[in-house]
Structure formats: C-alpha cells, structure tokens
Amino acid sequence: MTTWVPTPYEVVTRTVETHDSVTLTLRPVAESLPAFRPGQFAMLYAHGVGEVPISISAIPGDGTLVHTIRAVGAVSRTLHDAGPGTVIGVRGPFGTAWRLDDAEDLLVVAGGIGLAPLRPVLGHPAKRTVLIAGARSRQDLLYQDEIAQLSDVDVVLTVDHGDHDWHGRVGFVTEPLASIPLDPDRTTALLCGPEPMMRFCARTLLGRGLPAERIQVSLERNMQCGVGLCGHCQLGPLLLCRDGPVTGYPMAEPLLLAKEL
C-alpha cells in the first residue's frame, strides 16, 4: 500500500531556510512509512495540486520525516507554503542511498539545494569529514546555523556573489576542491547539485587521483511512480527512481553528458 497510496503526514514544523526554501518536519497521522536512508527520496503529494520527489534531508529517528523544499513550480510552491497542521500525502522510501560502508574520509560537495540530500551524512562517523558547499549568495546558503555548530566537520562555504557581510569564500566549489588536503586512497566523495557542477567536481577529483569508483553523484529526472514502472525518469539504462538517485560515477559519467532530459 505504501508504494502507490500516499500515507497521510501532518506538517509539524516549518523552518524558513532561504527566500525560496523551507524545511518541513512531517509526523504520521496514523501509520508511518518504513525508515528512510540518506540519499533516498519520497514522493510528496500536495492534495489537489500534485506530487513531486523530495529527498530526505534529516533522519531524526523518531518516525518523523524531514524534507527541505525549494519552491520552483506549482506543487513545490504549495508544499513550500504548507504550514503546521497541513496534511501531506507521502510515498516512499524510494531509490538508492549514499554508500558509506567503506568510507574512511568523507568528502561532501554540495551545490544549492543539493545540500539537502547530503545533510544526513554529515553525522556519519568517518575519520575525517569535509563539507564544501556552494550557493548563489550568502542568503541562499542552507542550514547556516546548523553548519556553524558542526564540530567534527571541516567546512568550506563558497558563494558566487559575495557582499560586505560575507567573510567566507567567493568562487565555485571546484576551487577549494582542487586545493584541500585529500588522501585519494581513503576518500569517498559524495556530490549533489546541478549536474554540470557534479561533472566538474568529479573531473577535479579524478585529476587529484581519486578513483571514479569512490565518487557518488545524485541524479534526478522526472520521477513519478517511484518504483521503476512508468519510465518517466529513464536516463540511459537507468530508471532513476529505482536505480538512482545515488549513482556511482563510472555509471553516471557518460549519462551526465546527455543533452536532453
């Protein structure tokens, strides 16, 4: 039943992250869905409007679901605007998760809203974790207070456009990526953001000696059914709702050059 029929969840909290993004915490109205793993996504249904795929952006472990939503269309705008008490339909968990089993050093590279699916891995007990996060401006950076509290993570924040109040980096994420201390033999890299960003980051990492097998990316297309049946999310040989979103770079590399959605 959980695959096809949305399970009712109620918005418990709504936290404004940026001018166009909010984080919703959802509590099951009755039955709850199986546990999500970092990198997986849910189909969130705004009643009477439609359904969109949204990654899990935290795993509190208390049965609630946490999603960060950027308002980019009619459905995501409705979800973005949903206040506490609103009931949302949820299907999932769907897709593949970040593979962290053999990760000694963890390198997390996020761009824009791409930080949301990576947020749950920041607590993974790696020997060393580095987060490089890029955004358009200081105002567009997600989870700023939370990131400031991260004590076991080396954090590099970079924006495209700096202002007088910004004392972090100005530039693209590939720049710190090219110069940070990195042990290619023990690093696992997780990339999430616009596809060109992931392409360029992966190339930078390959240039630094990181094996392609240790690079994972998150790919997204038009996810609809969530279980690899409808075919809307096909990308080459993959049905991304089932075989993705998290994909190894050796598989993803040629697909990232696909010219059409």
Partner 1 sequence: MTIPMTDLDALPLLTRLSHTQRAAIAGVSRIETYEPGTRLFEEGGLADQCWVVLSGCVMIDTVVPPRGRITLQSIGPGELLGWSWLVPPYRWHFGATVVSPTRAAVVDTGALRVLADEDPALGYQLSLILIDALLNRLQATRIRLLDLYRNPS
Distance CA 241, CA 230 (A): 10
Rounded to 5 degrees, φ, ψ at 114 are: -60, -10
Q: Is the peptide bond before 93 cis (omega within 30 degrees of 0)?
A: yes
For residue 57, the one-letter residue type is S
Report in angstroms how near the CB of residue 224 gets to partner 1 at its nearest. Answer: 19
Report in angstroms how near the CB of residue 72 gets to partner 1 at its nearest. Answer: 5
Distance CA 11, CA 70 (A): 16
The secondary structure of 6-72 as a DSSP string is: PEEEEEEEEEE-SSSEEEEEEEESSS-PPPP-TT-EEEEEETTTEEEEEE--B--SSS-EEEEEE--
Nearest to partner 1 of 158, 218 (CB atom): 158
Nearest to partner 1 of 70, 119 (CB atom): 70
Nearest to partner 1 of 46, 135 (CB atom): 135
Report in angstroms how near the CB of residue 29 gets to partner 1 at its nearest. Answer: 30
Report in angstroms how near the CB of residue 79 gets to partner 1 at its nearest. Answer: 14
With a CB cutoff of 8 Å and minimum separation 6, the contacts of 239 are: 228, 231, 233
Nearest to partner 1 of 30, 261 (CB atom): 261
Of 45, 85, 47, which is closest to residue 69 (Cα–Cα)?
45
Report in angstroms how near the CB of residue 113 gets to partner 1 at its nearest. Answer: 8
Give the interface with partner 1 as residue ranges (CB under 8 A).
20, 70-73, 77, 111-112, 134-136, 140, 156, 158, 160, 162-163, 166-172, 174-176, 178-182, 193-194, 196-197, 200, 204, 208
How many helices (H) and strands (E) the chain has is answered by: 7, 15
Report in angstroms how near the CB of residue 172 gets to partner 1 at its nearest. Answer: 4
Nearest to partner 1 of 114, 245 (CB atom): 114
Distances (CA, A) of 13 to 9, 85, 172: 12, 9, 33
Nearest to partner 1 of 33, 197 (CB atom): 197
Q: What contacts 24+ positions apart, CB below 8 Å, involve 162-166?
A: 162/137, 162/138, 163/137, 163/138, 165/138, 166/137, 166/138
Nearest to partner 1 of 79, 156 (CB atom): 156
Report in angstroms how near the CB of residue 62 gets to partner 1 at its nearest. Answer: 32
